[in-house]
A and B are shown apart, each in its own frame.
Chain A
Amino acid sequence: MRGQRPRITAQEIEIQNQYMADNTEFLPSGKPKISTMEMRGIVKRFPGVLANDHVDFDVHSGEMHALLGENGAGKSTLMRVLYGLYQAEEGEILIDGHPVQIESPHDAIEAGIGMIHQHFMLVPTLTVAENVALGLPSSRGALTDLDRVSARVLELADLYGLQVDPDAYVWQLAVGQQQRVEIIKALYRGAALLILDEPTAVLTPQEVSELFVTLRQMMVDGHALIFISHKLQEVMDICSRVTVLRDGRVVGQQPIDQVTKGALARMMVGRELQAQPEKEEIEQDETRLSLRDVWADNDLGTPGLQGVSLDLRAGEILGVAGVSGNGQRELAQAINGLRTITKGTVKAGGKDITGASPAVIIQQGVSYVPEERMEDGMIKEFTVAENLILREVNKQPFSRGGFLNFRAISRQSDELIKEFNVKTPSKDTPVKNLSGGNIQKLLLARELSRKPEVIIAAQPTRGLDIGATEYVHQVLIDQRAEGTAILLISEDLDEILALSDRIIVIYEGEIMGEVSAEKADPEQLGLLMAGVRSQAGE
């Protein structure tokens, strides 16, 4: 299918006609439209990887073109080429039919291309206006003209329905507001084509619908939009065309009304997806872990947890939902003895483990799957075998009297590599050479081989591809069936909804409320995630 030209549908012709009829080449921001942008035969190599293999991609004014694919499929690379952050080895980029050279973000901005990065490119210690003005020539020469910038920001905010206060510091803003600043920043620079790199990943469901209203308006106004995602439903909801990348190649490019979610998923993964694993009914009585009014500071020294209480029972998965940075990290670290608890108690298996060292907590049968699996979960320079016995290195048979027993270590790692289906060249390979999915399998292998009573799983599938995610989900469900108590901390609401028996929502270090999984709906959870306690305010 490589090199296939996009088919033009009736719908698209209609859209284009509408714009011909509008008889204007300008956007509401006053900048000229980009009527077509084409990337032809883009090739980009990294050491050992062909990230983009002759990729063709295009987008028109007035449409939103989805770029779909798993992590590592080459979506971000392609867009970084378009935005001038990477240089392609082969291929060309055409804007309105003319070839252009984009060698830096500066060139991209000049050409009318803007990018909303997944991790916002904002300076938190500067104001909104300062962030917008950064890097632009000022109307007052060497002096800043922030008053004029502010006025223009308010103008754009009005035109596009993106309410922001130009004088607010970025660190004061919620994530959704920061994203608006990012969009305004691009519009201010005259972006006619906007690349949105997984823009919904960090938003609550309500913020997502607000964003979609803005994006639809921008489409109607004649902006060309590229929407990078791996969330099929969102792509189906808002995009007009979709291109699927897999292993750096285009595996499909179609109008959205001619594809189904199932078909897209197959294209993305290259095989049929497993059905959502079934959960059996389990006896859930014995409380394995309980927190009472737990307080802990975050890295800034302000309270990151503010009186968290929860009970986790054997055989259940308790989901902790919330927008990133609301105390999830502090919660996992406080339970595992990695963060000082300033107030309150934590009990595991009836024993008070408040302020206990990680060694004692591990003894109580608590296993931890940390959010930063490479930084906190593994020693990346160590081999697979060494990492697998790290937690029990002081125990027989892995060591005796301070000496390592290499035969036992090697036997253990052979077994676990097989049982957890870890793909590694050998057990002596340094962990840093493994893929994200295999590292997570390794981590699970180590944590589960000790038959834990409690598992604290923090963002266990973040950054994993669909296959590895399915695997992790299955492992957690199997553990639940064996009666393990599981605290699942995740920012992926779909994951929480799919796996949990009960769901609690954390916001600014407080538990906002609890819902049972059967009764949970994303709308209600979204409000809790945004810190709205009751729905009375509607």
Chain B
Amino acid sequence: MITELFTTTVLVGILASGFRLATPYLYASLGETFGQKSGVLNLGVEGIMLLGAFAAFYTTFITENLWLGLLAAIIVGGIMGLAVAVINVTLKAEQGISGIGVFLFGLGMSELLFQKALGTVETVSGFSSINIPFLSDIPIIGEIFFQHNFLVYIAYLMVPVSWFVLSKTTLGLKIRAVGENPEAADTLGVSVSGVRYFTQIFGGVMSGIAGASLSIALLNVFQQNLTSGLGFIAVALVYFGGWRPLGVLVGSLIFSMVNALQLWVQVLDIPIPSDIAVMMPYVLTILALVIAVQRVRPPSALTKPYERGG
């Protein structure tokens, strides 16, 4: 039965779904990368994803318009990002703790809204696959990379865009400076809180889209705790990726591939206990972090609120 894993069809299937499943990781981790680069750790990504997923799903369910659903996730994510900024930047909360609060709020609120507004698990027809002309016809390659929906392609597009913004624009320069030495940035007239508000709202929007990618593009359902820890892995992926978009891409792919593998292991009824299979991505998270954290240095001001001192 193990040999079933190594047929072309199955391998292509694993790679294609791994490629697709990296989508929520990419949105959430890239958004979080901006935030951490500016010195703010938002541990509440998971909670924002849940709210974004619900907003997108419910709006789509009611209006039957996927674009309105996506817009709802963006708005809800942005509002949550703003709240995170108020808590962490203006009120200077302990970031490790406030993030847990944001997560629990998102978890509870999305569950409550789900119970009140839907009550039962429904489905919508999500974004459908767009076959890229010509490219999707290439055998194997086409199936793995070029037969996905809109949100998948945009997620991958966000990798070079994020890299470009962080390394080639004045905004990116400000973000990096604020995360390393906010005092220096302040003396040069850069608004430390302004930059951090921006990255937090952007991170919130990205987390919202990450949630939407689950509820209206990949799984097309909403249920309690839909994300089941994915948002926390996204935060870990930022560390794993060394605060670089390309690193985040590599990390996201590793995790989603392992995830795809474990799904297929279950589908093919290979005799590995499913609990163990499900654990694989999480075990990998811990291992990867232990290795990765020794490799790179986080932004110096990460988790440190800035106060103009004397």
B168 contacts partner chain A, Cβ-Cβ < 8 Å: yes
A 113-148 contacts with B by CB, 8 A:
115, 117, 120-126, 130-131, 133-138, 142-144
By the criterion CB–CB under 8 Å, are A121 and B188 in contact? Answer: yes
Given A122-B181, A125-B176, A125-B180, residue A134 in contact with residue B169 (CB < 8 A): no
Give chain B residues whose Cβ lies under 8 Å from the Cβ of A77. 310
Q: Which residues of B contact A6 (CB under 8 A)?
A: none
Asked if B308 lies at the interface with its beta carbon under 8 angstroms from chain A, I say: yes
At the interface, yes or no: B174 with Cβ under 8 Å from chain A? yes
B173 at the interface (CB under 8 A from A): yes
Q: Mark B158-201, 1 if CB is under 8 A from A, else 0.
A: 00000000001111111011001101111111100000000000
CB contact under 8 A between A134 and B173, given known A124-B180, A126-B180, A143-B168 = yes
**Given A135-B174, A144-B170, A80 contacting B181 (CB threshold 8 A):** no
Query: Which of A46, A106, A120, A123 makes the CB contact (< 8 A) with B177?
Result: A123
* Distance of A83 Cα from B188 Cα, bound (Å): 11
- Kindly state the separation between the CA atoms of A86 and B309 in the bound complex, as whole angstroms: 10
Q: Say yes or no for A104: interface residue by CB 8 A criterion.
A: yes
Interface flags, B276-310, vs A, CB<8A=1, else 0: 00000000000000000000000010000000101
- Asked if A109 CB lies within 8 Å of chain B CBs, one says yes
Nearest CB of chain A from residue B262's CB, rounded to whole Å: 36
Q: Is the CB of A134 within 8 A of B310?
A: no
Given A85-B187, A85-B308, A109-B189, is A134 in contact with B177 using a C-beta cutoff of 8 Å?
yes
Indicate if the CB atoms of B170 and A121 lie closer than 8 Å: no
CA distance A442 to B143 in the complex (A): 74
Contact between chains at B189 and A123 (CB < 8 Å): no
Question: Could you say which of A104, A124, A131, A138 contacts B170, with CB atoms under 8 Å apart?
Answer: A138
A404-434 near B? 1/0 per residue, CB < 8 Å: 0000000000000000000000000000000
**CB pair A142 B169 closer than 8 Å:** yes
Contact between B181 and A124, CB atoms less than 8 A apart: yes
Q: Residues 79-106 of chain A: 1 if any B CB is under 8 Å from the residue's CB, otherwise 0? A: 0100101100000000000000000111
Q: Is there contact, CB below 8 Å, between B180 and A134?
A: no
With a CB–CB cut-off of 8 A, which chain B residues contact A122?
Answer: 181, 184
B180 to A, closest residue via Cβ: A123
Docked-complex contact B187 and A117, CB < 8 angstroms: yes
Q: Which residue of B lies closest to A85 (CB)?
A: B308
On whether the beta carbons of B185 and A135 are closer than 8 Å, the reply is yes
Whether A134 contacts B190 by the Cβ 8 Å rule is: yes
Residues in B with CB closer than 8 Å to A104 are: 189
Given A105-B189, A121-B187, the answer on whether A144 and B180 have CB atoms closer than 8 Å is: no
CA distance A104 to B173 in the complex (A): 21
> In the assembly, what is the distance between CA of A80 and CA of B186, in Å?
13
**Alpha-carbon gap, A396 to B170, bound state (A):** 64
Bound: A420/B173 CA distance, A: 52
Closest to A133 in B: B173
A133 to B188, CA, bound (A): 10
Contacts of B171 in A (CB 8 A): 142
B250 CB → nearest A CB, Å: 21
Q: Which residues of B contact A144 (CB under 8 A)?
A: 168-170, 172-173
Q: Is the CB of B187 within 8 A of A137?
A: no
**Using Cβ atoms and an 8 Å threshold, which residues of chain A touch B176?**
123, 125-126
Give the distance in Å from the alpha carbon of A125 to the alpha carbon of B185 in the complex: 13
B310 touches A123 (CB 8 A): no
Query: Which residues of the other chain, B, contact A46 by a CB distance below 8 angstroms?
Result: 310
Bound Cα distance A134, B177 (Å) = 8
Docked Cα-Cα span, A514 to B185, in Å, equals 41
Indicate whether A106 sits within 8 Å of B189 (C-beta atoms), given known contacts A144-B168, A144-B170: yes
For this complex, 14 residue pairs linking A to B, each with C-beta atoms less than 8 Å apart, are: A77-B310, A80-B310, A104-B189, A117-B187, A121-B183, A123-B177, A123-B184, A124-B181, A126-B177, A126-B180, A131-B177, A134-B184, A135-B174, A135-B190
For the complex of A and B, the 6 pairs showing the least CB-CB separation, nearest first, are A106-B189, A135-B188, A121-B184, A135-B190, A123-B181, A121-B187
A-contacting residues of B (Cβ < 8 Å)?
A: 168-174, 176-177, 180-181, 183-190, 300, 308, 310
A105-B189, A143-B170, A144-B172 provided; 19 other pairs, C-beta below 8 A? Answer: A104-B189, A105-B186, A105-B187, A117-B187, A121-B184, A123-B177, A123-B185, A125-B180, A126-B176, A131-B184, A133-B170, A134-B173, A134-B184, A134-B188, A135-B174, A135-B177, A136-B188, A142-B170, A142-B171
